[in-house]
Amino acid sequence: MTRSCACHYGTVTDTRCVAVIQARTGSSRLPGKVLRPLAGRPVLGWMVRAARAAAGVDEVVIATSTASGDDAVAALGEELGVPVVRGSEDDVLSRFVLALATTEADAVVRLTADCPLADPSLISSVVGLWRSDPSLDYTATTLVRTLPRGLDVELASKQALLTADAEAEGFHRTHVTSYLYDSKRPFRTMGLVVQPAANDLRVTLDTAEDGAMLDAVVAELGDRAPAWHEVVGLLRSRPDLTALNAGVRQKTLAEG
């Protein structure tokens, strides 16, 4: 496989960074959510568009399961022209390792298909942190959460992901990256924060209420990948929109 040579922060690097979008139809609270239309475009298509627009990302891959219900995810990936890898439904970490091996990546950006308002500039910034210092194991917007839930971007180096695959158990295998920030092993991490903080807001898709809020936001912002501050600005000015999913409780790591 051809490896890219890109210039970032004034440094030429022969490293390969791949965005891996995890997607499946078997959501417990909103089955099929990644295929749900949003302004006429599948939610998964929104995430693919944002990942493709991010600077420093060499390839975009969809990682879904081998379950028959996810044949539709694989078909949509083919329609969008995105490579698809398929593996365990529950051991999501193993799917990322498969994507890592398939693409010969030096780092992977973890994106989830239920976050359609992803901002390409945030993805670019997280990738840029790692490209400026490839010795980092993990860079993310979530080490100190200041962004709305649903704008998360995480990057794991190849070695860090392989270490997690060798050692992680239980819910760490479902959540892919949690072992890198929630274990005793001293991984080298760096976080990205924004001010003013907006971590009280929620723009992810996990319930019907979330879907109603996203429909309303997109009706205002249009069918495009918005900047994070546009999303925050709109929600701060429109409490009627935030009220649509204000009662949704985020699952804990252990709940999956």
**How distant, in Å, are the alpha carbons of 147, 148, 149, 170 from that of 210?**
17, 13, 11, 28
Question: What beta strand segments (E) does 17-130 contain?
Answer: 17-22, 37-38, 41-42, 59-65, 84-87, 107-112
Per-residue pLDDT of 208-234, as tens digits, reads 999 999 999 999 999 999 999 999 999
Q: Structural domain boundaries of the chain?
A: 14-246
For residues 220 and 123, give the distance between their C-alpha atoms in angstroms, rounded to a whole number. 23
Superfamily of domain 14-246: Spore Coat Polysaccharide Biosynthesis Protein SpsA; Chain A (3.90.550.10)
57-71, 83-97, 98-112, 236-250: the lowest-pLDDT one: 236-250
Per-residue pLDDT of 72-125, as tens digits, reads 999 999 999 999 999 999 999 999 999 999 999 999 999 999 999 999 999 999
pTM of this prediction? 0.91
> What count of other Cβ atoms lies within 10 Å of the Cβ of residue 91?
16
